[in-house]
Structure 1
């Protein structure tokens, strides 16, 4: 795939999510999110542990299921999220990371993927989760211009069809949007998000 350094794109997507989460207050924790049945607290707990799970995978310890277990929110969930984000971007900052084999049991028993694929998955997850949190907090979200092409490419690699209807699927079934829709709306709809949520 033709893309700039996925490590840089991923770091910037994660940093942007940290900026958005930084606006969170305790009053937001029970707000609904575009992730069906998840509150802001649920989503933030998921985002935090996913950073730590991917960081562990980058260090060669991703097969340990405990590193992927969602934990109760910390007393300062904003700071804890920022710490988890810093942990994963630091874990990716090694010259061989794109070639390392990641254990990713979150995607199924025994699943492994090269770092290049794992970082792409992490990148698109945080583009979308950044939007999720922004919408839940009623904040604007902007897809950086140089994110558009790689984000669309990665998004279109995600399988559709029956796979999206299982409990294990990370994304809901694809939604339809106009062919001339904004690139972010196309990404969101392909991954099962309603771009106009909560309407």
Structure 2
């Protein structure tokens, strides 16, 4: 598995933050039962967790990493507009170190080969970047290299023999037309409906 560059996907998430209005924080997202504020809280947490995974240090003394799935709107840091871009920058920098891709590492209580964990980090950035864009009425841009990497990762995860390992990471596969874009096919494999809209979600 080749190394991936997290910079374009992280930069896109950072760009989208500028378009999030305060009155949208309670709006729904493509993630079921996850309003915008909870999605932002998840991005805050995952950016730290995957930075620690790259450095193979674990959380600093006195800091606890919340288990996956516990992001909540109520715990979103009021300073997220300043904090999250900084965390995304640190995440990118951590994975630019060659040592980040070597050996085993851990994030959210899951141990994986570091080269796989880096792709998982990219997957989180792309999917949740798309979630945030859709939820806030913005255009989402994904660079070709990230799109190809995420398509390969989500397609592999959608294989029947991977059913146990994808549980908790992705929802049920959503069928999309065969001639759909690479990004839409990746979204479908990841359990996202590329046609999701805020209006349809109510």
| 1:74 is aligned to 2:70 | no
| 1:156 is aligned to 2:155 | yes
The residue matched to 2:105 in structure 1 has which SS? strand
- Consecutive unaligned residues of structure 1, counting only runs of 5 or more, are none
Higher relative contact order, chain-length normalized (CA < 8 Å, sep 6+): 2
Task: Label 1:160 to 1:154 Cα distance change in 2 as closer, same or farther (>3 A).
Answer: same
Residue number in structure 2 paired with 1:189: 188
Residue number in structure 1 paired with 2:146: 147
CA contact (8 A) 2:133 2:139 kept: yes
**Aligned mate of 2:54, from 47, 51, 58:** 58
| 1:14 is aligned to 2:10 | yes
**Aligned mate of 2:95, from 87, 92, 97:** 92
1:25 deviation in Å? 2.0
Task: Label 1:87 to 1:148 Cα distance change in 2 as closer, same or farther (>3 A).
Answer: closer
The residue matched to 1:129 in structure 2 has which SS? helix
Residue number in structure 1 paired with 2:126: 127
Residue number in structure 1 paired with 2:178: 179
The residue matched to 1:126 in structure 2 has which SS? helix
After superposing the two structures, state which structure 1 stretch, 26-35 or 55-64, moved more: 55-64
Q: Measure the CA separation in 2 of the matches of 1:83 and 1:196.
A: 31
CA contact (8 A) 2:158 2:189 kept: no
| TM-score, length of structure 1 as denominator length | 0.84
| TM-score, length of structure 2 as denominator length | 0.83
1:165 deviation in Å? 8.6
1:196 deviation in Å? 0.7
Q: Measure the CA separation in 2 of the matches of 1:52 and 1:176.
A: 33
Q: Measure the CA separation in 1 of the matches of 2:106 and 2:84.
A: 22
1:159 deviation in Å? 4.3
1:149 deviation in Å? 2.3
1:63 deviation in Å? 7.5
Residue number in structure 2 paired with 1:26: 22
1:58 deviation in Å? 2.0
Q: Measure the CA separation in 1 of the matches of 2:77 and 2:147.
A: 34
TM-superposition CA deviations, 1:147-197 (whole Å, max 9, x none) = 33222112222245553895xx12110011111111111111111111011
- Consecutive unaligned residues of structure 2, counting only runs of 5 or more, are none
Task: Label 1:62 to 1:156 Cα distance change in 2 as closer, same or farther (>3 A).
Answer: farther
